[in-house]
Chain A
């Protein structure tokens, strides 16, 4: 059986069920690299140029890990565009080239690099899929079936995501029901998460790329840390495309990066509806698109609201303690505000019964 390796980084969370179904139906065995850990990230850092962003370095680590796992192919798609007139970040555009030309001392298996580009027309994309599939199976009928199944699974997966599941939960659901994902989840989708009903929790929007947020090593478990602090986390992918489309009307020019458009749309959606108590933005150091979108989000939030905002930047040196301190301080501040506490930090008494951060707040946080 042909073994195809898929790195658990970058667009893995967004497209894995589709890729898995596609290769599975074509009769290949899909091997996924393990969750990011210190070793993988370190390997990546050693083998990538310094200027690259942390997720890219981690990706490289996953590739090296896969190369040691005895696979026949490694799947590194060249994502150029999945929407009309919109792009991915330049590093996705040159990803296979970058990987091939950087790993000079590591022997890589053959790389599958389909070009995914429907910026102007779809014909080339179909040809690319055919070329890719013909490596595994020559029969047109089975290729057709594999493509169809993959698309169906992907649509269902997106529906799961928009109904309020996080990528992690949705992926777990996919793993558990693998072969009949579509049929099995259809009736289970009605259980929309009832999280927002409990008003005691505070709502935090987390704006960051899925490849940062859902990678435990890179994001240092940001989401579960927030959940431990009694926060309801809202991420960008929970909003449907229509909502994002409406929200992005706030900026005069169409954002031409697919991923950052989603992030900006999500941020502005929450600003329009005022349904959050705070917003956390997380981005990798030296991320090109994020530098732009972060600046716009920050400025517009400051102009139009007084929602507290925390902006976190990660790189390979981030110490977890500093990260946690900032997060805790931010959440404490929101909680104090909610209790009707002082608006200005300088008005807080340093001791006694008027101490801003009094017992009740602390015990609330622990509860």
Chain B
């Protein structure tokens, strides 16, 4: 799931577990997942299944999966994975870290119960360390998405991102992490940029897995950046964990934004999609890109509402649906066309402002 693995790896290594990180997502991962997975399930389930199979081939004997309590299907993935993996002959244990139903203690207890011979101090330390890594990665990524459109030497940010992930992954103590993250942020700010460029601002909304996993969304963020678009991604793993696991984040502002269109949460990130689109339209963004896996029900509901949002809030919305067959050229074309249209619209608005409508 994006670069989230770095945090999880840190957590489990602190608890003296041998961690097998699945190899990067490739065509093989996707085809393994879609061969064995249910055909009409969404892409995250298939990719995760492919990841697990590849990790098992590398010698993993236990796989860890997050859970939940609906109404999104995600909460049941682990059960399906277990059934499929056993059925196709892999003798592995599937451990599930459930999303807490009552409070955050439940989450800590469920992690602790996986490690009966560790004491509470060690467990909390490990969770904290993993969490810190997740935070710094998300912080860096947000900066990169925002600044990529301004870079003078094309590809600087992408190179930096790969290096940063490797560096953070290698860090094994808290003190090092603190120094390292400061260095990385300084380094990022030093990348030469040209702020005089005419850059569009677009919010990426939609389903979290597809947004953060660049292999699944065919690098939409990078493509947008290279087209001169500064992207604000609305979902990060750290936000998700804050809201749903630690329960320290409240979203009253989102409820206020979504109220005219949607009155309650519908599971997954459907509600966030609507609310964030309205929010960034109000902030004066030039457009929004909705990213979702094929057959994602919450996003389908919000997709049909987005039409009206787009019309009323005056924000262009592009919807990109991904499944295992997505061809890259099609995505490129649609993104380019979208950016061109948005740019044209912006230009016209500017001309109207100075009273040169007919030009």
Residues of A within 8 A of B320 (CB): none
What's the Cα separation between A104 and B307 when bound, in Å?
Answer: 10
Are B87 and A90 interface neighbours, CB within 8 A?
A: no
What's the Cα separation between A104 and B78 when bound, in Å?
Answer: 40
Which A residues contact B (CB, under 8 angstroms)? Answer: 48-49, 51-52, 78, 80, 85-91, 93-94, 96-98, 101-102, 104, 115, 251-253, 255-257, 285-292, 294-296, 299-300, 302-303, 313
Excluding A94-B301, A98-B301, A98-B304, 14 further A-B contacts by CB distance (< 8 Å) are A80-B264, A85-B101, A87-B267, A90-B267, A94-B266, A94-B305, A97-B262, A97-B301, A97-B305, A102-B307, A251-B79, A253-B79, A287-B40, A292-B73
Residues of A within 8 A of B297 (CB): 89-91, 288
Give the residues from 301 to 345 in chain B that come closer than 8 angstroms, CB to CB, to chain A: 301-305, 307-309, 321
What's the Cα separation between A255 and B308 when bound, in Å?
Answer: 34
Residues of B within 8 A of A291 (CB): 38-42, 73, 295
Residues of A within 8 A of B79 (CB): 251-253, 296
Q: Which residue of B lies closest to A52 (CB)?
A: B300
Question: Of A101, A302, A303, which contacts B304 at CB under 8 A?
Answer: A101
Chosen A-B contacts, 25 in total, with CB atoms closer than 8 Å, are A49-B300, A49-B304, A51-B300, A85-B69, A87-B267, A88-B71, A90-B71, A90-B267, A90-B301, A91-B266, A91-B297, A91-B300, A94-B262, A94-B264, A98-B305, A101-B305, A102-B304, A102-B308, A257-B71, A287-B40, A288-B42, A288-B296, A291-B39, A295-B80, A299-B84
- Residue among A251, A256, A257, A295 with max Cβ neighbours from chain B (10 Å): A295
A90-B268, A292-B76 in contact; A256/B71 too (CB < 8 A)? yes
What's the Cα separation between A48 and B96 when bound, in Å?
Answer: 37
Cβ-based interface call for B57 (8 A): no
What's the Cα separation between A288 and B44 when bound, in Å?
Answer: 13
What's the Cα separation between A91 and B265 when bound, in Å?
Answer: 11
What's the Cα separation between A101 and B274 when bound, in Å?
Answer: 12
Which B residues contact A (CB, under 8 angstroms)? Answer: 37-42, 67, 69-73, 75-76, 78-80, 83-84, 87, 96, 101, 261-268, 270, 294-298, 300-305, 307-309, 321
Residues of A within 8 A of B80 (CB): 292, 295-296
A85-B69, A102-B304, A255-B76 in contact; A285/B40 too (CB < 8 A)? yes
Q: Which residue of A lies closest to B101 (CB)?
A: A85
What's the Cα separation between A286 and B87 when bound, in Å?
Answer: 24
- Residue among A51, A96, A98 with max Cβ neighbours from chain B (10 Å): A51
Are B87 and A101 interface neighbours, CB within 8 A?
A: no
Residues of A within 8 A of B295 (CB): 51, 286, 288, 291
A90-B298, A102-B304 in contact; A295/B41 too (CB < 8 A)? yes
Min C-beta distance of A91 to chain B, whole Å: 6
Min C-beta distance of A253 to chain B, whole Å: 5
Contacts across chains A and B counted by CB atoms under 8 Å: 129
Min C-beta distance of A60 to chain B, whole Å: 10
What's the Cα separation between A294 and B45 when bound, in Å?
Answer: 14
Closest CB pairs A-B (n = 5): A256-B70, A295-B38, A87-B71, A288-B297, A93-B266
What's the Cα separation between A182 and B73 when bound, in Å?
Answer: 39
Q: Which residue of B lies closest to A49 (CB)?
A: B304
What's the Cα separation between A52 and B297 when bound, in Å?
Answer: 8
Min C-beta distance of B33 to chain A, whole Å: 13
What's the Cα separation between A49 and B302 when bound, in Å?
Answer: 11
What's the Cα separation between A289 and B79 when bound, in Å?
Answer: 13
Min C-beta distance of A93 to chain B, whole Å: 4
Are B301 and A299 interface neighbours, CB within 8 A?
A: no
Q: Which residue of A lies closest to B274 (CB)?
A: A97
A90-B71, A291-B295, A299-B83 in contact; A49/B261 too (CB < 8 A)? no
What's the Cα separation between A252 and B37 when bound, in Å?
Answer: 19
- Residue among B72, B73, B87, B301 with max Cβ neighbours from chain A (10 Å): B301
Min C-beta distance of A57 to chain B, whole Å: 11
Q: Which residue of A lies closest to B296 (CB)?
A: A288
Are A48 and B266 interface neighbours, CB within 8 A?
A: no
Q: Which residue of A lies closest to B77 (CB)?
A: A292
What's the Cα separation between A256 and B321 when bound, in Å?
Answer: 26
A89-B71, A93-B71, A94-B270 in contact; A295/B84 too (CB < 8 A)? yes
What's the Cα separation between A294 and B40 when bound, in Å?
Answer: 10
A102-B304, A295-B84 in contact; A90/B72 too (CB < 8 A)? yes
Are B304 and A93 interface neighbours, CB within 8 A?
A: no
Residues of B within 8 A of A101 (CB): 261, 304-305, 307-309
Residues of B within 8 A of A78 (CB): 263-264
Question: Of B78, B83, B87, B304, which contacts A48 at CB under 8 A?
Answer: B304
A98-B305, A101-B307, A101-B308 in contact; A300/B83 too (CB < 8 A)? yes
What's the Cα separation between A88 and B87 when bound, in Å?
Answer: 29
Min C-beta distance of B70 to chain A, whole Å: 4
Residues of A within 8 A of B73 (CB): 288-289, 291-292
Are A51 and B71 interface neighbours, CB within 8 A?
A: no
Residues of B within 8 A of A88 (CB): 71
Residues of A within 8 A of B67 (CB): 253
Are B305 and A296 interface neighbours, CB within 8 A?
A: no
What's the Cα separation between A313 and B38 when bound, in Å?
Answer: 13
What's the Cα separation between A295 and B86 when bound, in Å?
Answer: 13
A94-B302, A104-B308 in contact; A303/B72 too (CB < 8 A)? no
Residues of A within 8 A of B303 (CB): 49, 51
Residues of A within 8 A of B41 (CB): 291-292, 295
Residues of B within 8 A of A51 (CB): 294-295, 300, 303, 321
Question: Of B87, B300, B307, which contacts A303 at CB under 8 A?
Answer: B87
Residues of A within 8 A of B262 (CB): 94, 97
- Residue among A89, A96, A292 with max Cβ neighbours from chain B (10 Å): A292
What's the Cα separation between A94 and B300 when bound, in Å?
Answer: 10
Residues of B within 8 A of A89 (CB): 71, 297
Residues of A within 8 A of B70 (CB): 86-87, 256-257
